[in-house]
Every structure is written in structure tokens, then in C-alpha cells.
Chains A and B, each alone.
Chain A
Amino acid sequence: MRDAQLHRPVILAMVAVIMVLGLGLAYSSMGRLQNLRMEEEQVSLTASMQATIDNLLRSSETGSAIERSFQVAPGISEICFADANAPLDKFVSAELARRVTDGSVVAAKSGKRFLLSPVEHLQLNRNPLCIATDGSLDVRLVSRSRGADIMPLDQGQQRADCTSVLYNGAEQSSVDVTFVSDNYGDEEDFARDVAEYTLYLIQHEPFKSRQDVFNFYRVFTQAPLDCMQQGILACDPYAAKREAAKCPSDYVIVMHSRSKTQNLASPIRSSSRGTLVSLNAADDKAIFIHEFGHAFGELGDEYVDERYYSAARIDPLDYPNCDRAPCARWSGMNATGCYSGCMLGAYSRPTADSVMRSPYRTTDFGAFNEQELMQHLARYGGER
């Protein structure tokens, strides 16, 4: 009995330890059970779809259509259909383009992951086709010669991770610019702004002459990008690149929606950090060209803001378009001079005015800056 009393505190301690272990094990197993449930739902959905497709193809003439609503598990945000036997649009879903290598599949997106199940007799007009779901998948199935085409009943439900805005050629040899939305409620507003800014950029030299090396994409997201920082628009690079990686993105432009009235009362500055540009869409479009000059060509500001620069610990000579008089960097070059003021009053710039100095007045880079940008652009192109 005395032995048992001596053992009791030890046993109680062991009980506590083992209960914690048991809870840990149970917790880790819950995730697996949830996956199992999701997979069962996926199997059920695929079976229903397959039966519907088979029935349509068996009993209907080519071109006939039916509309169906399928129940979808609550954790599923998207259902995609993909066919590896036809070209897959990698911008709709990079993951499906990578993973679907054989036959056709129904893919259910839960969180960031897809559960894939094989399905037969698909003949997709869009491949892959991704449709947003909210408890149900509402589709029209059309009988085609080699299978069933699927389309969402509501076109607004169609989803793509990445939308190609202007595609000129292979990503490896192109300047891939991806716009990411911030603070946009409506995807159409964002699409319109992106189209305008894209056209605006490639209408200006030197980008106009080399527009064939540019690809533009857009990613519409509601993810928080933490863009507002002390009156400056400077989005979190991690959040922004996480979204932008859905598209090829050598350069990321976060487009922040803001009303012009609000901006007039309380202006916020656009910014450039490395290859990430945070752009205030209420600003003049020329700011985009200015910021892209920073990001792509490493050009410095040609305006002078002594108050700002006095504390900035920056050497203007780190920027190719700033030099000390008599401006040896561009001396002898046509259409250049040595004009006082480039970041600081003590430095000089190559042209009297340029988009790097006063974008509200001109969108011209000037001869020297254009040459600099052309050298960067020469890194792209070649075999495409």
C-alpha cells in the first residue's frame, strides 16, 4: 500500500503527460479525417458528374444541352475541369497545368490545394475551366462530338488565377509585368484600369519600340497587401509577390484603388521598391511611367527635394542619370546637357525636363534615359 502511495504522484504526472500526448495525436488525426471527408465528397461529386455526362452523350444529339446543379462540400471554393489531351492554359491555374498530365479530371480546390479525380468524355472549350462554388456548382453541359463541354450558368462565376492582358511571347525572354489589385471591390474596374495603364506604357518610348518583349497580366485579389504606410503607398512585398506569382512576374505593379477626391484632399505617394511598384490609381498615369523608370531602368529622380534628401543617406551617383558637372557620363551625346539638379541641387541631370523630373508636364524620358532603358530592354527578346 505504501508503495502505491509513493507511486501515486508519479502516476498522476504520467496521466497528465499521456493525456497531452493523446490530445496531440488526436489533433493531428483530425486533419487527416477532414481530408478523408473532403475526398469522399469529391468522389461523390465526380460520380454524379460522370453519370450526367454519360447520360447526356448517350441520350442526346450533338449540340443539345442540359443544366444541372451539383452539391459541393462547404470547404470547396472552386471546381475546375481540365483535360491533359488538349492544350492547358497555364495562366488559369498554374497548379493544374503542372499536375494534370494524363486524361481529364475534376479538381476541387480547398484552401490552396486541389483534389483531383479522373473523369471521362470531356471536350472543353476552355481548358482548364474553373468555376467558383458556394455550396453548389451550377453548370450547363453541352453534348459535343467527342464529349461534353461544360460552362458555368453564371459567367461571373468563372475563375482564373492569372489573366493575360497582352501576351507577346515566351516568358523566359520577356519582360513580364503583373498587375495585382488592392482595394478594388469590382474586378471589372481593375481590368479596365490595367488595360489603360498597359496601353499607356507601351505607347511611350522607349517601351513603344520594344513592346514586342512585354507581356502583361493581372491578378484580382481581395487578399490584404498592407499597402498604406505613413502616407506612402508601399505594399508588403511578401503578400504582393505571393499573389503575383500566380502569373509570370518579373515586375509587380500593385494597383491601389483610390478616389480622386480623396486623393486631392489627402494625397498619398506611389512608390517603387526593387521590382515592386505600389501605384496610386488616383494619380496621373505618368507616375506609372516614372515608377517603371525607377524599377526597370534604375533611373533616379531628376527633381530636387532637398528637405527629403537631406536625411536620406543616398548618393545620387548610384543612379546613372545623375552626375556631377560637367556630366562626363553623357557628355558628347546628342540632345543632352548638364542641367543643375538631380535628387540634390549639387548634382546634374542630362535633359532640362523629363518624366523622371516632372511627369505632370512630360512623359518623355530624354535621350540619355532612353538609351539606358534600351540597354536594359536588350536583355530581353532573342528567340521567342
Chain B
Amino acid sequence: MRARTQGAFHMQRALLASLLLAIALSSLPAIRAGIIGQAPDELLLVKVQAADSSTGGYRVLESVTLTGFLPDYRNPPAKPYQAVLRDHDMVQFTLGFHDPRLILTDAIVGEEMQGGVEKLDEASFALLLPTTNATDLDIYDNEGALVLTHPLRKRAVSWSWLLLLALPLLAWIVYAMRKEA
């Protein structure tokens, strides 16, 4: 029994040490010295799945911010889909784009053209957007129906909250160790 108690005591000490190490590591200052400023032409590239509601509807598959050039979107289609960036109810940016499920394929085979236009059951498409403080991305189809609302602001993942959790645990372990000793 004494050996088991000693084992638990050593385990607790190891635990205490690992906890202190984790706290020390998390307190290292964030290194930003080499990175200067924010990009004025930082863009948001969003990949969206487009399908009928029966086969999954519209959803954002992935997105990335990158540095680059925003298309001027001067030549929208006649019956455009619309992407809208808005901050709550305030529209910040809109762009018109082609029906994302349409694909036109062509090949010359001998003296004959083969292919044509097809509406895919589902397809992914990509939108290049400016980075703004928009809260949401809305997509309307070419009949004006809202087919997607996607929240853009996400809380940054932080390990800091773990410290708040860890400190009471630390206090409890110290208390338990003292009581056992």
C-alpha cells in the first residue's frame, strides 16, 4: 500500500511538472517581428459546393486568405448568380457570376464538334472576394433565391483558455498532494 501511495505521489509530481512546463511554453511571446503589416489586397478564396437541396444544397467546403489580385467583375453574365458580403444588414460587396453548375465542353473529333452545355447535378466553384469585416457571405441563384448563408467571422482558436482551466486543477492537485503527504 505504501509503495502504491508513493507511486501516486511520484505521478502527481510528474503531473505537476508537466503542467508547469505547459504553462511556461504557452507564455512564450508570439513572434511577429519578421511579419510586417496587413495586406491591403488580401483576398478571400472560398470553395463552394453547389447542388440541389435534395443532394446536399450549397455549402462552403473550404476557404483561404491569400495575397493577390481581385478580378474587377466588370463583365457579369446576363442572368447572374450573386455573391454578397455583408456586415449584419449592411452590404459591403456584391459580384455577379455564372451558374456554377453549367459546364460547356468541346472537342474537334475529325470534322465534327462534340460536346455541349451540361448542367451538373453537383459541382464545386470558387469565388475570389475582398477581405472585409463582413459577418456573412450570402449566395443567391439566378432567380434571386438565397441558396447559402455562410458566417465569415470565426473566433480565433486560442490556448489561453486552457490556462484558466489548468490553474484550478493545479490548485486541486497541490491540495490533494498535501493531504496525502
A binding-site residues for B, Cβ under 8 Å: 1, 3-4, 7-8, 11-12, 14-15, 17-19, 21-22, 24-26, 28-29, 32-33, 35-36, 38-39, 42, 94-95, 98-99, 101, 112-117, 171-173, 175-176, 232, 234, 236-238, 240-242, 245-250, 267-275, 280, 283-284, 286-287, 290-291, 294, 296, 298, 300-301, 303, 305, 308-309, 312-314, 318, 320, 343, 357-361, 376, 379-380
Complex interface: stretch among B19-27, B84-92, B148-156 = B19-27
- A250:B18 contact, CB within 8 angstroms: no
B window 25-74: CB within 8 A of A: 25-26, 28, 30-31, 33-37, 39-41, 43, 45, 47, 61-62, 64, 66-69, 71-74
In the complex, A26→B27 CA distance in Å?
11
Q: Tell me which of B37, B75, B108, B159 contacts A28 (CB under 8 A).
A: B159
30 contacts across the A-B interface (CB closer than 8 A)? A11-B173, A14-B172, A18-B18, A18-B19, A19-B15, A19-B18, A21-B166, A22-B18, A22-B19, A26-B25, A32-B28, A116-B35, A173-B72, A237-B124, A238-B45, A238-B126, A241-B128, A250-B73, A269-B105, A273-B98, A274-B100, A284-B108, A287-B106, A298-B78, A308-B118, A309-B116, A309-B117, A357-B113, A360-B111, A380-B75
In the complex, A171→B77 CA distance in Å?
20
Chain A CB within 8 A of B140 CB: no
Give A284's nearest chain B residue, CB to CB. Answer: B108
In the assembled complex, which residues on chain A have CB atoms less than 8 Å from the CB atom of B176? 7, 11
- B114:A308 contact, CB within 8 angstroms: yes
- A25:B124 contact, CB within 8 angstroms: no
Give A3's nearest chain B residue, CB to CB. Answer: B179
In the assembled complex, which residues on chain A have CB atoms less than 8 Å from the CB atom of B61? 238
In the assembled complex, which residues on chain B have CB atoms less than 8 Å from the CB atom of A294? 104
- B69:A249 contact, CB within 8 angstroms: yes
Contacts known (A18-B169, A250-B72, A301-B113); A241 close to B119, Cβ less than 8 A: no
- B72:A312 contact, CB within 8 angstroms: no
- Chain B: interface size category: 35 or more
In the assembled complex, which residues on chain A have CB atoms less than 8 Å from the CB atom of B43? 245
In the complex, A219→B1 CA distance in Å?
71
- A273:B103 contact, CB within 8 angstroms: yes
In the complex, A259→B50 CA distance in Å?
33
In the complex, A319→B159 CA distance in Å?
54
Besides the known contacts A29-B25, A314-B117, A359-B106, 10 further A-B residue pairs in the complex with CB atoms under 8 A apart: A3-B179, A26-B21, A98-B40, A99-B36, A113-B35, A242-B45, A242-B126, A272-B104, A273-B103, A308-B116
Q: Tell me which of B26, B66, B111, B114 contacts A245 (CB under 8 A).
A: B66
In the assembled complex, which residues on chain B have CB atoms less than 8 Å from the CB atom of A271? 103-106
Give B19's nearest chain A residue, CB to CB. Answer: A18
B binding-site residues for A, Cβ under 8 Å: 1, 5, 8, 11-12, 15, 18-19, 21-23, 25-26, 28, 30-31, 33-37, 39-41, 43, 45, 47, 61-62, 64, 66-69, 71-75, 77-79, 97-100, 102-109, 111, 113-119, 123-126, 128, 159, 162, 165-166, 169, 172-173, 176, 179-180
- B117:A343 contact, CB within 8 angstroms: yes
Q: Tell me which of B19, B45, B162, B165 contacts A241 (CB under 8 A).
A: B45
In the assembled complex, which residues on chain A have CB atoms less than 8 Å from the CB atom of B179? 3-4
- B66:A25 contact, CB within 8 angstroms: no
In the assembled complex, which residues on chain B have CB atoms less than 8 Å from the CB atom of A361? 111
Task: Kindly name the residue among A12, A24, A294, A379 whose own CB sees the greatest number of chain B CB atoms within 10 A.
Answer: A294
In the assembled complex, which residues on chain A have CB atoms less than 8 Å from the CB atom of B159? 24-25, 28
- A360:B18 contact, CB within 8 angstroms: no
Contacts known (A4-B180, A172-B72, A272-B104); A301 close to B116, Cβ less than 8 A: yes
